Amino acid sequence: MPRMRFIQAINLALVEEMERDPRTILIGEDVEASIFGDTRGLLDRFGADRVRNTPISEQTLTGMAVGAAACGRRVILHMMFSNFIYTGFDAIANQMAKLRLMSGGQVALPITVIASYGGGRSTAAQHSDTPFSLLMN
């Protein structure tokens, strides 16, 4: 296995998954610009039908992910900063986590949520939380 930076490994994993399954889509804020480098080149490689740059609205993003997954897509939801999970938490807690059970297993929601987290990058208090303990159970 080649040595690479963690951000490059994330990008490689996204490329491999999107090549493996044409139903996989990536949605998120600034995924086109790839400010962290994790989504670099994906729009050019897979096109705007599969790489969706969205406006800043985490409630819309999480709802969009649920809807796309319920319709047969495999969704990679890029939340940019993990703090943004809080504003999209209604769909995460009440749809993503429950719809499979609520539908008796008829609806699967293959959604992967990715987000950067932690301090040390001068991104202010609203971009530095680590809320993953909310999502562990």
Q: CB neighbours (10 Å) of residue 131?
A: 14
21 vs 25: CA distance, rounded Å: 9
Question: Catalytic pick from 17, 53, 127, 134?
Answer: 127
pLDDT, residue 127, reads 64
80-129: per-residue pLDDT in tens? 877 888 888 899 999 999 999 999 999 999 999 998 776 556 666 666 66
d(CA 48, CA 13): 19
Other C-beta atoms lying within 10 Å of the C-beta of residue 102: 12
Active site residue 78: no
Domains of the chain by range and CATH?
A: 6-135 (3.40.50.970)
Q: Which tokens go with 99?
A: 């719809």
